[in-house]
Amino acid sequence: MAVDRFTLIPDVVAFVSSDPEQSDQLNTGRPGPLLDLTVESVAFGGKGVARHEGKVWFVADAVTGDRVSARVVKDGKRYGDAGIEEFVARSTLRGPSPCAWSETCGGCQWQGIDYAQQLEWKRSFVVTALQRIGRVEETDLSFPIHGSPNVLGFRNRILVRARAYADGRVEAGYFRRGSRELVPIGRCAIAGAEINRFLEWFLEQRFPGEVERRWRMEIQEVHEAQAFGSHQSSKVIVTIHPAEMPCADLEPVRAALQASPMVAWTGFNFEIREAPDFVFDVDADAGRNAEYVTRPGMFQQVNVAHNHLLRRLVRQAVDATRPARILDVFCGSGNLSLQLADGVRWIEGVEFDSRAIDVARKSAERGGLARTTWIATDATKHLWKYARSGVKFDLVIADPPREGMFEAIIPLAKIAPQRIVYVSCDPGTMARDVGSLIRQGYRIAKIDCLDFFPNTWHVETILVLDRVVEGAS
């Protein structure tokens, strides 16, 4: 069963999956019936959970305590989905939103919800996953969840939809949740100051043309990379993703962006391979290798301040065992392992994305980091190669994508590192993988949750696992 979301209800765990018995019964194209629902809890995935006549209903944009009139969207045999038509009574957990567009924008689900309550829900998602999916037993699940240093203004990168009308007017915003209807915004409450300053400038521009033009626009705060330890104040890099090709109608847009003193670089998405390097993070806690390089269009953690805590937790887990050889699989551009290079221990990073590996090498070169190697290859195949050849590592860091690393568990266990540091953005696949590692002879030594995305249902988890059974693979 492919788990997509789950929730803790007193006597049931609800799954949305590819189970054929849960096929949609409502597919006529006509509006579904209305239900009067009282939301009892919140599910991973951000939907409220209610019961009606013995069936569980997932209600988009609802939270615990909401009483709603909800329209059925999908009706299965065991559970269904519904959307709010009208609030009968709003939950007392709801307060005033700091964002003027939060009721319509598809970005944040929980603006105006007490932040302590948000953290409690997120921690419960992880506990539920470990208990119900990972079948984790005899483990202390009273671990902490670390709130973000900033609840607003924390994102250093956003992706907006932009539109220029024939008369020159421009709009930028996000799609309404569950639709392709653009919700224009004036600023983004969770974006950084430089991004919002750029947005305000952009919305004042005029780009007349014969036709309406649409594109996606990725905006990221960076420092212009100069010599190591020397860089200018923050600017933005802007990647333009045209809705259609060719994109000659967007050339005036690019020209205007290039001329702005706020913009360090701009170009189309097919030009990013020729883009220069930029320093996106300077982490004083990481010591001499404190600068992290990026390029336009490349994934990085968007909550830079909270990412410093994640690195520190990884470093503490590593330093406690003093490993001589460290393997970082799904390493990206070296976010977690660059800081560990001390010139004595061996660091090997593995990532399928060759651009990310190139950036990791650039960061290592800028910091003068010795005894590091960065390999662009499939992480699972790399683990199998080492498992078959008998190559060993003292410690493995794994930060897989949302789908987890289930196929890599067996070769990882055969390599038999004494300690595994597992970082995950999805409690369901994390619990599945950790449960498998426990059956391969590991135990959970430490768990921490981090809230990288306040006002949404997303949660990050870092688990430290130690090997307790030799030869269990």
Which residues, 6+ apart, have CB-to-CB distance to 417 below 8 Å? 327, 392, 393, 394, 395, 396, 467
Beta bridge partners of 409: none
Amino acid letter, 240:
I
Strands 419-424 and 460-467: antiparallel
**Among 81, 91, 29, residue whose Cα is nearest residue 58:** 81
Q: How far apart are CA 404 and CA 150, in angstroms?
A: 28
Q: Exposed, middle or buried, 133 (CB in 10 Å: 0-12/13-18/19+)?
A: buried
- Measured distance between the N- and C-terminal CA atoms of the chain, rounded to whole angstroms: 24
CA 344 – CA 311 distance, rounded (Å): 19
Q: What are phi and psi of 357, to 5 degrees?
A: -65, -40
Residue type, 401: P
Omega into 20 within 30° of 0, i.e. cis? no
Please tell me the number of Cα atoms within 13 Å of 276 on its side-chain side.
Answer: 11
Strand partners of residue 36:
69
Q: Which of 105, 331, 425, 449 is catalytic?
A: 425
Q: How many CB atoms lie within 10 A of CB 365?
A: 12
> What whole-number distance in Å separates Cα of residue 106 and Cα of residue 329?
33
| C-alpha 405, offset from chain centre | 16
b/e per residue 321-337 (b: at least 16 CB within 10 A): eebebbbbbbbbbbbbb
CA distance 378 to 15: 30
Angle value at C-alpha 178, between 176 and 182, nearest 5 degrees: 25
The H or E element containing residue 385 is helix 379-389
Catalytic-residue membership of 105: no
Give the contacts of 462 (CB within 8 A, at least 6 positions apart): 310, 313, 314, 317, 421, 422, 423, 424, 447, 448, 449, 450
Backbone phi and psi for residue 456, each to the nearest 5 degrees, phi listed first: -135, 175
| Residues annotated as catalytic (active site), given as ranges | 425
